[in-house]
Structure 1
Amino acid sequence: MRPFFLAYKSITITWFMILAIISIVISYFIVNILAEEYEEDKNKIENIFIVLLIGGFVGARLSYVLMNIHLYKGNISSIFKISHYNLSLIGGIIFGLLVLMVLSKKYKIAFGKLLKIFVIPFYFSMAIGIWVLMFDRFLLYSSHIKNEPSKVLYLSLLFLTGMILELAISKRVNNKYITVIILTIVMVLYYIM
């Protein structure tokens, strides 16, 4: 498989870029549907979506830099050379949760409700985004997947299962921590698979 989705003269579109765009667009529609379902103002939720998207990306990059500070000691300017190879998933999640907490206070919407709205698009995006490892030939270098293509399918199914559990259980079980429990289990399974 080619590492680029499209290459024409000096224009190249990577698999990461095309899958990220697809994920963001579909997640935007999912968020709007969930905002209506949870009876929240769509404008507020859209604003939160944009800030959360940027905040998660910045957090993913910042945490990668902090975890690999030795790579940037002699060359500070390389911190700004961003690609999907130098982002941290767990850093993006943690930073995204912190941003969500701040925005929860700012917009006076319960954190649990915002988490329920935004965790489903997260699962969906991860189920799609994990395929970048396969299409981008990053699978060969990924220490987490260990060059096993079937694991990409399993991880994609793991995130889809998290999304289905969230949709099926979250409303039926009257426990405010169920979303956090499902998210924690999915992420632990992601790192031990």
Structure 2
Amino acid sequence: MYPELIKLPFIDVTVKSYGLMMVVGFVAAVTVIRRLSRSFTPDPQLITNAALYSLIGGVVGARLFYVIHYFEQFKGHWLGVFKIWHGGLELLGGVILAISIIFLYLVYHKLPMRRYLDVLAVGLLMALVFGRVGCFLNGCCWGKPTTLPWGVRFPYDSLAYNSQINADPQRNRLEPHLNLPREGYFGFTAENGKWYPKAFAELTEEQKYEVTKGKYRCLPVHPTQLYSSAVGGLSCLLCYLFWRRGKKAEKAARANKFLCRPGQTFALMFIVYGISRFSIEFLRDDNPLEYGSWTLRAIYVIYKGGTVSQNLGIYLVLLGLVLMAVFQKLPADRITPAAEK
């Protein structure tokens, strides 16, 4: 786990791994979108502008979704909502708001919406590949304990480690995964009742050995972040091939062929992402299951007892199927003469 990659000399600024991978993913997504949209974009600068707006919206949406997801911990500490440098972003919320902003941007500029949304889908999935690597380096979005040979161990006092030493009723875990004794290791108790160990530097040499190589080291867990990254890459490839199939059908004057219409790649993105997110959530150990926060009750309609993300994943699949059917019946977006040059 490397939440901080490097510290810049003289200015005492650290480069966060999650932030860096978000930037890399953003650049990769913009590059892909600009390249795929060359045949119908009247001005490439439109892509860059839309990307910048979506980046801002993505950060706001990711933070907002985190606050909704963990609403209880912000009660009485409302200024903490704005302290994003302390961590607390959820990728799904960022994607939802970023797409919404791009949708409004395309409407405002009267651009061929479904064609842009198709290439946006490929770009977003490309960004997901890098974003989830950032999650792995940051140590968030960890998985459940596993005995599989590729299970990874996170370090002492990491998010995954601190989760394992506590019971978690919100995930139906009444006993901790790791029985770290409080005596000699206790650091403090948080307001939510969970306890956290003292800093690694404060441990004795014997204790340091026990938490790094001995019986109190972190249990190996599913690298769910890397699972998500790999699935994101496969989904990106699938959507690209699906989009290219539609382009070839259009050039061959077979645009009415089944599943070759503009906008259907965008719909496919919702379907594949929703299925993958719903599935991988079964292996994750960070998101709470259904609980009584008033901000979340309306979401748990389809899959009670699951996580917020699992329910949203189901909604995304249903939305994708509806869009797929609707776009099949709509005529192709009109390309402006400027874009055809």
Same fold (TM over 0.5): yes
180, 184, 193: which one aligns with 2:267 = 180
Q: Say whether the 8 Å CA contact 2:37–2:116 is kept in structure 1.
A: no
User: Residue by residue, what CA displacement relative to the aligned partner does 1:75-134 show, whole Å, maximum 9, x if unpaired?
Assistant: 111111104841222222221222122112101113322211222221111111211232
Structure 2 residue aligned with 1:113? 115
Structure 2 residue aligned with 1:61? 63
217, 222, 247: which one aligns with 1:148 = 222
Q: Which runs of 4+ in 1 moved over 4 A?
A: none
CA distance in 2, matches of 1:183, 1:101: 15
Structure 1 residue aligned with 2:15? 13
Q: 1:76 to 1:67 in 2, by over 3 A?
A: same
109, 129, 134: which one aligns with 2:136 = 134
Structure 2 residue aligned with 1:165? 238
CA distance in 1, matches of 2:132, 2:86: 11
80, 87, 90: which one aligns with 1:88 = 90
Instruction: Give me the identity figure in percent.
Output: 21
1:22 Cα offset (Å) = 1.8
Structure 2 residue aligned with 1:4? 4
Q: Say whether the 8 Å CA contact 2:25–2:129 is kept in structure 1.
A: no
CA distance in 2, matches of 1:135, 1:157: 15
SS at match of 1:56: helix
Range moving further from structure 2, 42-51 or 134-143: 134-143
Q: Say whether the 8 Å CA contact 1:165–1:182 is kept in structure 2.
A: no
After TM superposition, the score normalised by the length of structure 2 is 0.51
Q: 1:178 to 1:24 in 2, by over 3 A?
A: closer
Which structure ranks higher in relative contact order (CA pairs < 8 Å, sequence separation ≥ 6)?
A: 1
Structure 1 residue aligned with 2:308? none
After TM superposition, the score normalised by the length of structure 1 is 0.85
Q: 1:65 to 1:13 in 2, by over 3 A?
A: same
Q: 1:37 to 1:167 in 2, by over 3 A?
A: farther
SS at match of 1:37: coil
Q: 1:58 to 1:3 in 2, by over 3 A?
A: closer
1:47 Cα offset (Å) = 1.0
Q: 1:74 to 1:92 in 2, by over 3 A?
A: same
SS at match of 2:76: coil
SS at match of 1:131: helix
SS at match of 2:245: coil
Give the number of the structure whose alpha-carbon radius of gyration is greater.
2
Q: Say whether the 8 Å CA contact 1:158–1:190 is kept in structure 2.
A: no
Structure 1 residue runs without a partner (length 5+): none
**What pairs up with 1:39-58 in 2 under 5 angstroms?**
39-58=41-60
User: Residue by residue, what CA displacement relative to the aligned partner does 1:122-181 show, whole Å, maximum 9, x if unpaired?
Assistant: 11111112112322233354699x9312x3333222111111111111232413334212
Structure 2 residue aligned with 1:99? 101
State how many pairs are aligned: 191
Amino acid at match of 1:169: F
Q: Which has the higher helix share?
A: 1
CA distance in 2, matches of 1:109, 1:54: 21
Amino acid at match of 1:148: H
SS at match of 1:22: helix
RMSD: 2.5
